[in-house]
Structure 1
Amino acid sequence: MKPLRRLWAVVFKELRQIRRDRISLAMIVAIPVIDLLLFGYAINFNPRNLDAVVVDQARTAASRATVMDMRATGIIEITGVADSPQQAMEQLRRGRISVGIVLPPDFERRLADGRPAVQVMVDGTDTVVQAAANQLAQLPLGPRAARTATRIEVVAFYNPQRRSAVSIVPGLIGIILTMTMTMFTAMAVVRERERGNMELLIATPLSRAELMIGKVLPYAIIGLIQTTLILALGIWMFDVPLRGSLLDVYVAALLLILANLAMGLLISTRARTQFQAIQITMFVFLPSILISGFMFPFAGMPDVVQWGAELLPMTHFLRLVRGIMLRGAHLGELWPGVLALLAFTAVTMTAAIMRFRKRLD
């Protein structure tokens, strides 16, 4: 009986310790709930309401009816019109849309002849979106007797072979940077506190802002080294294209690095131990994988989840890096993502510095 009593004593002691650790207690409840909501409610392999523009060069009742039929499928959402296929292609390159629908001037004649009458231009950097656009090719057009013929032609740009590595490798840069930069920074600051060195650092003439920024700058260099390694291996081993400027890729990566370093600093003001820092980091890392558009199609998520994903740096970096590397866009053309990352870094860094001062004064 004595061994059993000693065993139960250890069990009860561990349960009391978990109850006192609010972060661990919160993760026990929050992680199953968050995963259930994300996989059951947010994640959808069938994208809907893909942003699309229409180039209707026929301008007939039949062409307008065709556009309405395509919209009725729920796969696309018409967000505008373009005067030419070149204009639609430019919006596709800048990431403004996912699909461009072109109806030529001889639309009705093509229907009568049984030839492809509609061209659907799709951004092939997201293979799931490309597969969703292929569903539009099954939409019956023309006379009922001739509807067995394929009348809608899907043309995938930037990744016509639908190679998954082309879309995964650029996003993998963001995933690795999000995990390592956030975790390393949070653990570095908490480690100083655990070892009793933080008070010694604060006693120096350094301001708190200088202290915190100085702590994270070495990790920015590490992040750029990681970016270089992933780029080199991705291009060499998986033949991932680099259609845009390499400098733009590094600038985008640096913006994500700074955002994640600021998040790591903010986490360090809440965590008391390195283990707690890792636990809190998981709350940032899991959504960055699941709802940023890296693994699952962003367009298939409910509006509420998409609004929440807009608060994640990974979401904006994914748009930047795919636009630069795969579509050849310039960083200036992707300015909304740049501003979002800068705003996130400024707000998070300010909050981290304010909380850091409040805790240590």
Structure 2
Amino acid sequence: MKAFRDELKHLLSGNGMPYEKVSIMVSLVITVIFSVMLGLNYAKDTPITVIDLDNSHYSHELIDYLNNSQLISVTAVVNTPAEPNELMYRDKAYAVVYLPQGLEKNHYNGERADIGVFYDNTSSSALSGVREALNEIIADLNNPSIGTGDTIRGGTMLVSRSLFNPAESASNGEVTGFLIFFSSMFFAFATLGMVPRLRQEGKLDLHFKVGTAYDLIERILPYCACWLIANFIGLVVLRFWGDINFSGNIILYFAVQTLYIIMLGMVSVFMGWSAANPGAASSRMILFVPGGFIFGGYGVPMTMMPDWVHWINQIFPLTWEFKFIRDIVFRGAGFFDCAVTIGQFLIYITIIWILFSRKFDKEQIAYGEIAE
């Protein structure tokens, strides 16, 4: 019992990870918050885009019929030829339905009337509702008693094609997601305890005395370099050992990665700032890393979350990282294709920097008052 009492005393002393608090926090987060955020249990109103080259009364009826499904939502209709992959950038559409010219004529002449559909296979689990809805709608169209209500039986066929990851390779999905998630998690472990460590070593006072917030950013850079090198090695392994399809610009990708990891470093140092020691700081990783994996589109499809979650998940750094992974790596988006997302990301980084620098300035002022 002596060993038990000694370890219990250490657990409650605050000199290490406050597991008694972390265990309860994890239990509450998993059971309460996740139950609310993941309460839909199915993909609802998955956004799709329609390329309507027929632009006829029949095609308009068909679009309305698609939009009436609770599983899909027609968010845009294009009446000119367009590249389906470009319509999927920034998660604007998970599928593109193609209505060819002459669709109405072929349908009413009793001839074969093919409808094309392009699936965004970067997240196959997000497409289950879309595939189910489209197959049901095509079956209804070929039944004259329902569907659009005409008397033509049969003739409408759905021709599908999967983009970006047609073979549903794990390297182009789950493995890449786990690579980024675990790399970010251990990066957070390495940097969360920076300020508590500097405080214990007596070096934090020197920063407050003659330094600026930029000096703390400078301390993050070696960890950032390690993360970038490890990320590059991981992608090389997936390219030659696996079958990852890197479709984007490598320079654009690593430019965004550099911004991401510096930003994650600022968040990590900020979150661990007030911890009593590095061990206690490490437990705070759960507050900002796992949420981005779960609600950023890899852990759970975005289409299975309520609309309000799509706003809340923007506070997690990994949410932004996964947006760039899907667009640049898998979909091959260029700078101008994801310029809006990059602009939003820069605003996010600016907010993080303001919070970080204000925290430093506040602590620096408090140190000056104590020194006087």
Q: Could you state the TM-score of these two structures normalised by the residue count of structure 1?
A: 0.86
Partner SS for 1:121: strand
Match of 2:144 in 1: 144
The alpha-carbon distance between structure 1 residues 150 and 313, as it changes in their structure 2 partners (threshold 3 A), is farther
- Alignment match, 1:196: 202
C-alpha distance 37-71 of structure 1, shift in aligned 2 (>3 A):
farther
Alignment of 1:1-361 (within 5 A): 13=9, 17=13, 26-43=21-38, 46-93=42-89, 95-111=91-107, 113=110, 115=112, 117-135=114-132, 136-139=134-137, 140=139, 141-144=141-144, 151-203=157-209, 205=210, 207-360=211-364, 361=367
Unaligned runs of 5+ in 2: 146-151, 368-372
The SS at the match of 1:342 is: helix
Structure 2 vs 1, CA of residues 70 and 195 (structure 1 numbering), >3 Å: closer, same or farther?
A: same
2:148: which partner in 1? none
Distance 1:263-1:94 versus aligned 2 partners, 3 A rule: closer
Cα distance in 2, alignment partners of residues 51 and 115 from structure 1: 27
CA shift at 1:253, angstroms?
A: 1.1
For 2:189 and 2:286, how far apart are their aligned partners in 1? 9
RMSD of aligned Cα (Å): 3.0
How far apart are residue 111 of structure 1 and its match?
Answer: 4.1
User: How far, CA to CA, are the matches of 1:12 and 1:241 in structure 2?
Assistant: 51
In 1, are the aligned partners of 2:53 and 2:99 still within 8 Å (CA)? Answer: yes
- Per-residue CA shift, 1:275-314, capped at 9, x if unaligned? 2211111111221221110121012101121111122221
Structure 2 CA distance for aligned equivalents of residues 91 and 263 of structure 1: 33
Farther off after superposition, 244-253 or 87-96: 87-96
Question: Structure 1, unaligned stretches of length 5 or more?
Answer: none
* Preserved contact between residue 193 and residue 273 of structure 2 (Cα < 8 Å): no
Deviations, residues 202-249 of structure 1 (Å, cap 9, x unaligned): 44x3x2223212211111211211111111111111110111111111
Distance 1:342 1:173, change over 3 A: farther
Q: Is the 8 A contact 2:43 2:129 kept in 1?
A: yes
Residue 9 of structure 1: CA displacement?
5.9
Q: CA deviation at 1:187?
A: 1.8
Count, aligned residues: 354
* Contact residue 293 and residue 319 of structure 2 kept, 8 A: no
Partner of 1:238: helix, strand, or coil? Answer: coil
In structure 2, do the counterparts of structure 1 residues 236 and 21 end up closer, same or farther at CA, with 3 Å as the change threshold?
A: closer
> In 2, are the aligned partners of 1:177 and 1:257 still within 8 Å (CA)?
no
Paired AA for residue 236 in structure 1: F
Q: Distance in 2 between matches of 1:12 and 1:158?
A: 53
Q: Does the 8 Å CA contact 1:50/1:76 hold for their aligned counterparts? A: yes
**In 1, distance between residues paired with 2:260 and 2:284?**
19
TM-score by length of 2: 0.84
1:94-152 Cα offsets, whole Å, 9 max, x none, are: 64322212222232454464735322222111111233322122322133388788732
Tell me, yes or no, if the aligned pair for 2:66 and 2:73 is still in contact at 8 Å: no
Q: CA deviation at 1:257?
A: 0.3
Go from structure 1 to structure 2 and tell me whether the alpha carbon gap of 1:16 and 1:268 turns closer, same or farther (over 3 Å shift). closer
TM-aligned CA distance change 1:165 to 1:260, over 3 Å: same
Shift of 1:77: 1.6
Q: Secondary structure at the match of 2:112?
A: coil
Query: What is the alpha-carbon distance in structure 2 between the residues aligned to residue 85 and residue 137 of structure 1?
Result: 24
